[in-house]
Amino acid sequence: MAYTSKNELTHGLGYGVVFTDLTGGKAGIPIAGLRAIEAENNQENTNFYAGFNAPYRTIAGSKNTQITVKSYDLPDEFAIHALGFGILNMFMFDDVASYKPYGFAYAERYRDDDGTGYKATFYPSVQATTPSDTAEADEESPTGKEYEHTATVTTSNFELAGKKRSVIKFKVSDADLTTGTKGRALAFKKLFTDLKPLTATDIKE
């Protein structure tokens, strides 16, 4: 069989949304100034050996995923829900009770031989740490203030095929978004237009 490839190129990051209400009863909060997102997975497999020291079975260990988000924008409403801050009379302060779980979604642009579109990633439940930031002198060419926070992917109630899932990824073409009838197009619009988290019923053809 001949090898085939669509020569895909991924570029551009945007459409970041956090969902402080995991039930979707409240609209998500856009993060307009996304700069970078890194996902680190840690998982150890255990090998069992039998006759002639040959591998008999490999059992995958539990997976731990952390995402690091860098952005120019860090909305106060998000910070007082999930990033360890409280607010009183428009004064913000540290609050150890404000590390609540939230959902997170972002999208990237892609281009391949068939056209262009978006790659979407949705984490049904994550829990963050207090963000770091830097303050610098204003030089001749000022740059935006960048915030960075780390979040751990946590167990959610998002179930597919009888198992709880921690991440949902999908691609949707610009053509399908224009038509707007396929499941992936509807899911994309729900995340980034309606600002609502996905549910299992949104995973359809």
Give, for 185, the enclosing helix (H) or strand (E): helix 183-192
Is 2's pLDDT higher than 60? Answer: no
CATH number of the domain encompassing residue 70:
2.30.110
Residue 171 lies in a domain: yes
C-alpha closest to that of 32 among 75, 79, 84 = 75
What is the pLDDT at residue 1?
47
- Look up the pTM and report it: 0.85
155 pLDDT band, cuts 50/70/90, is: confident
In a domain, 18, yes or no: yes
Count up the domains in the chain and report the number: 1
3 domain residue, yes or no: no
Instruction: Give per-residue pLDDT as tens, 107-138.
Output: 999 988 878 999 999 999 999 988 887 777 66
Residue 102 confidence (pLDDT): 96
**Residue 125 domain-assigned?**
yes
Q: Which amino acid is at 122?
A: F
What was the pLDDT predicted at 170? 96
Domain residues for 179?
Answer: 9-135+144-198
Residue 190 pLDDT > 90: yes
Cα dihedral across residues 113, 118, 122, 127: positive or negative: positive
pLDDT score of 3: 47
Burial class (CB in 10 A: 0-12, 13-18, 19+), 118: buried
204 domain-assigned: no
